[in-house]
């Protein structure tokens, strides 16, 4: 079945360090890909998305490129801030399955000053 696998956390970084959170997927159809972020005590909010191969989603200094050949959608940021501390979820949506999202297990990021 369709699935999403993320690197395990927690990830702890110092401020201004580079971030990569790996995400790979398995899908029978042609998915759209998403990164959601959950700040402490809040619900999830969309961080970025990509709908087709080689698309790059970006927002708030975060980027992710849809790589069909490696079935990956890794999240990257060049310089993290304390305010980026949150849980990050990779997700996919298959077009012919309506609005359903399939989520990875989440990766907790903690950024220290």
Partner 1 sequence: DVKVTQSSRYLVKRTGEKVFLECVQDMDHENMFWYRQDPGLGLRLIYFSYDVKMKEKGDIPEGYSVSREKKERFSLILESASTNQTSMYLCASSLSGLLVDTQYFGPGTRLTVL
Which residues contact partner 1 by CB under 8 A? 4, 6, 32, 36, 41-46, 49, 51, 89, 93, 95, 98-101, 103-106
Closest residue by Cα to residue 78 from 13, 14, 19, 11: 19
CB of 24 to partner 1, least distance (A): 14
Burial class (CB in 10 A: 0-12, 13-18, 19+), 17: middle
Least CB distance to partner 1 at residue 9 (A): 10
Least gap, CB of 34 to partner 1 (angstroms): 8
């Amino acid at each position: 079945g369709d699935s999403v696998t993320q690197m395990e956390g927690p990830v702890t970084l110092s401020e201004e360090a580079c971030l990569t959170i790996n995400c790979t997927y398995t899908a029978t159809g042609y998915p759209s890909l998403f990164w959601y972020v959950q700040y402490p005590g809040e619900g999830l909010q969309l961080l970025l998305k990509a709908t087709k191969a080689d698309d790059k989603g970006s927002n708030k200094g975060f980027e992710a490129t849809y790589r069909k050949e490696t079935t990956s959608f890794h999240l990257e940021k060049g310089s993290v801030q304390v305010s980026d501390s949150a849980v990050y979820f990779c997700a996919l949506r298959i077009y012919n399955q309506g609005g359903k999202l399939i989520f990875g297990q989440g990766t907790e990021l903690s950024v220290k000053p």
